Structure 1
């Protein structure tokens, strides 16, 4: 069932308040590879990317 216009706007307001956005560009076909890997790890693509960033930051700081 599609969400209502009011719910969509409420979600947009919340997301604007709670999150920063970063656009990541990858070569054609690489997105599908990343999505498949994330699914194998039972996580979303966004969750996988965030975990990868956090892991690298921890490595860089140690």
Structure 2
């Protein structure tokens, strides 16, 4: 029987893509503070920001 970690890793492999994001020194803390101030995780904030910009630029 697969353990919790193995199950999670397999689920992620099948359901999500990962992006390694590099930002200028100090920007990580600013992004985290901005996201937290709006009740979002950093991941949720970045995903929302990317989606909104793509929709705007694509005219959706």
Partner SS for 1:43: coil
Coordinate RMSD, CA, aligned: 1.2
Select which of 7, 12, 15 maps to 2:12. Answer: 15
In structure 1, the gaps of 5 or more residues are none
Partner SS for 2:20: coil
**How much has 1:28 moved relative to structure 2?**
1.3
Alignment pair present for 1:30 and 2:27: yes
Q: TM-score, normalised by structure 2?
A: 0.90
Partner SS for 1:21: coil
| Runs of at least 4 residues off by over 6 Å | none
How many pairs are equivalent?
58
Alignment pair present for 1:45 and 2:42: yes
**How much has 1:6 moved relative to structure 2?**
1.3
